[in-house]
Amino acid sequence: MTSLRDWAENVCRISSTARSELVRAIEGHDETKLPAGVTWLEIDEREVGLGGVWFRFAPGAIGRRQFEQVFGRGEGLVRVPVDAPAKYMTTVQVAGALHRCTVIAEYRSDLDDVDLQGLYLRVDRAAKAQ
């Protein structure tokens, strides 16, 4: 779980959504070198605000409670259609970094004892210091 938090913070520090920078942010993992517990990974090089890294997890790899101890519960997103997976969004910021990481967690349901199914670490522009 520490790796996911580290990766979110690393995403904040990249200068672009270039594949090489995103792979470096997640410690060299890509579609051919999956981290433990990950069944699918996709590097999304689209522009800032759209690009990032998608993950899918094996059942039992990370529980919701375990995930939320590190990232918090997050803000619930609207489910369309109503039987779509439950998604929660939170933000990770690193002082002085060019970007922030929007973390979107996906679960089969809203129950507290479900496993994390998917995760998106999206690269967004950091708010400018006041």
Using CA atoms of 42, 48, 50, 53 in order, give the dihedral in degrees to the nearest 10: 20
Which CATH fold would you assign to the domain 2-125? Double Stranded RNA Binding Domain (3.30.160)
Using CA atoms of 25, 1, 39, 36 in order, give the dihedral in degrees to the nearest 10: 90
pLDDT at 128: 64
Section 115-122 average pLDDT? 97
pLDDT at 11: 96
Q: What are phi and psi of 47, to 5 degrees?
A: -60, 165
pLDDT at 127: 74
Question: Tens of pLDDT along 11-57?
Answer: 999 999 999 999 999 999 999 999 999 999 999 999 888 899 999 99
Quote the CA–CA distance of 67 and 35 in Å, as a whole number. 16
